[in-house]
Structure 1
Amino acid sequence: MGDRIVVLHQGFVRQIGTPKEVYDDPADTFVATFLGSPPMNLLESDDVVVGFRPEHFLPADRLREGSRIPLRFRVTYLEFLGAERILYGSLAGSRFEEKEVLSRLPAAVSEAFQVGSVYDFGVAHESLRFFDRQSEKRTQPKAIAWQ
């Protein structure tokens, strides 16, 4: 049994690495959405696409202040899966309000979320992944206008 994987798409190698490397640091937007269920949240800005995994999009009180991007999350649907919950919604009051984003929370997070309500959520800076909008390949972090 091997310890590395190859991600192929339309006959081209997109990335080679350990499953953890490929999941944590996808080479492009295809790999970012191909691995993981639910897939990585991707938000298109002017010249960059910013991504973050649903399990990294958490209630603000679960993230250290000063190390996170604060975001307002409007919940539109809840999915209970026993050991975890998946919250579907949008980034309220942001330029990405029309784009659906997901949060995957362990059952240990006891907050009672309500459909239609808006909550303080966030993503740790180190959990953000940046992709070039044209090539869709990973790029260096860039400033994003969230509003």
Structure 2
Amino acid sequence: MYNLVYKNQLFFLFLIILFLIHSVFKYRQNHILEAESSKSKEVISQVRCSFASQSTSSIKIIKSGRRYSIELPAKRCINYAVGDTVQLFYNKKYDYYYLPGLLYLYKQRVVYCLIGIGLLLLPWKFFNLKFFKIF
């Protein structure tokens, strides 16, 4: 099997598995948090909206002298301004705030990771040698 895959496939497979573990962890934590926790109203201290695909948008709040950053999609970011109040869930165990209604993002990330893992498990070296060799 090792002769049928490229070395970089194994590297990317490792990275995608790490991303999958992180996405599943965040999905489970936030799913439990939405089911068992109550919302708290917090005042937004900073808004950072980015429409570039490589960077994330976030809002920041200050609670008990600590600054918390809450990631959110750019489409929802434009709805918030500094000084607005927002309802958030707080995870006491891992000390972070979570904006409700974003579980679908983690589901999408898990699905994309599984698709990527499926594609990376294919023996691409074999396909290239078998079907695309130069005559």
Structure showing the higher strand proportion among its residues: 1
TM-score interval for Structure 1 and Structure 2 normalised by the shorter chain: 0.3 to 0.5
Q: TM-score, normalised by structure 2?
A: 0.40
User: Could you say which structure has the greater relative contact order, defined with CA pairs below 8 angstroms and 6 or more residues apart?
Assistant: 2
Structure showing the higher helix proportion among its residues: 2
Q: TM-score, normalised by structure 1?
A: 0.38
